[in-house]
Amino acid sequence: MVRVFVFVYFLRIFYSKLYVMKNFNTEDYENLLPQIKLTTSDIESQIKGFKLEFFRDKVNQREDFPFFVPPFYKFVLDKNRIPDQNEYWEFYQEENPDYFNDPEHKDLIPGIKARIFRNMPSFVRDLHFGKYLSEHELSVIYNQDLDMKEGTDLMITYKDKHYGLSLYTDTPDGRKNRDRKIRTRKYNGELENVTYVELPVPFKTSFICGDFFLYGEVEHNKVIEIIDGKKIEPRKIIDLNQIYINAARKRAESLVVSN
């Protein structure tokens, strides 16, 4: 039985690679960013007073509960503001009444709530950075299918080339979520004409707004360096962690030579 399961699993991966591989086309993906009227300044002023709360109740990743992303963006679009964690949790339940009215899901609620609270800051960070890049005259797309199905948080188009940004905090939980999205992307089939870029946010260099760690000028400059200052082979994955390491190594070597 186990052998059959493994065979079917890899067979699905094979056919997904064979048939799902496709090119990215901006016309195929609705961009939510222009529909959201908030600026980065608006977002910062709204969230700076939020007090983030986290707790460790867990829910099995394999449980089939409703997606987290759509209610967050629906709230922002409908109300033209960022929800705090409690507002987001309440709105998430309102958007999924059938699920939460089912007695079989009662025991899962604390774990789902904990995950909602942990995920909410990353949704704010991604939206803020999408707006930040747009305000700095880059062509940026945020699309929920790109996010949830293809593991791309933001898509940048620059000089007819496409760059899929993977955004995450450089923590164990952040890297775990990043790995999950990469597996989803590879399972569904990567976009052939997209260069995928890893963009972790280290706490030490983050732009801090209240309790939030956001992307800012440092990450914007790294994106510009990647898309405008280097020749990148198609679909090569670039890890900004390695860029930081290489820069530090070169600096250390120059100090040794000068001494």
Most confident of 58-72, 122-136, 204-218: 122-136
Model confidence over 94-146: pLDDT tens digits?
999 999 999 999 999 999 999 999 999 999 999 999 999 999 999 999 999 99
Question: How many Cβ atoms from other residues are within 10 Å of residue 66's Cβ?
Answer: 15
Cβ of 74: how many Cβ atoms within 10 Å?
A: 13
**Which pLDDT value is given to residue 254?**
55
Domain assignment of residue 170, given as a range: 2-258
Report the range out of 61-65, 125-129, 180-184 with the highest average pLDDT: 125-129
Mean pLDDT of the chain: 81
Residue pair 170/200 in contact by the 8 Å Cβ criterion: yes
At residue 236, the pLDDT reads: 44
Q: What is the 3-state secondary structure (H, E, C) of 32-66?
A: CHHHCCCCHHHHHHHHCCCCCCCCCCCCCCCCCCC
At 235, the pLDDT band (50, 70, 90 cuts) reads very low
141 φ, ψ (degrees, to nearest 5):
-120, 135
pLDDT beyond 60 at 6: no
Q: How many domains does the chain have?
A: 1
Q: Model pTM?
A: 0.77
**pLDDT score recorded for residue 151:** 84
pLDDT band at 171 (very low <50, low <70, confident <90, very high): confident
What's the rounded mean pLDDT across residues 189-217?
83
**Region 178-195 average pLDDT:** 73
Given the DSSP bridges, would you call strands 154-158 and 139-141 parallel, antiparallel or unpaired?
Answer: antiparallel
d(CA 236, CA 229): 15
DSSP class of residue 15 equals H
Q: Where are the alpha helices (DSSP H) in the chain?
A: 2-20, 40-47, 69-79, 85-95, 97-100, 109-135, 144-148, 172-188, 217-229, 240-258
* pLDDT band, very low/low/confident/very high, at 148 (cuts 50, 70, 90): confident
pLDDT of residue 172 exceeding 60, the answer is yes
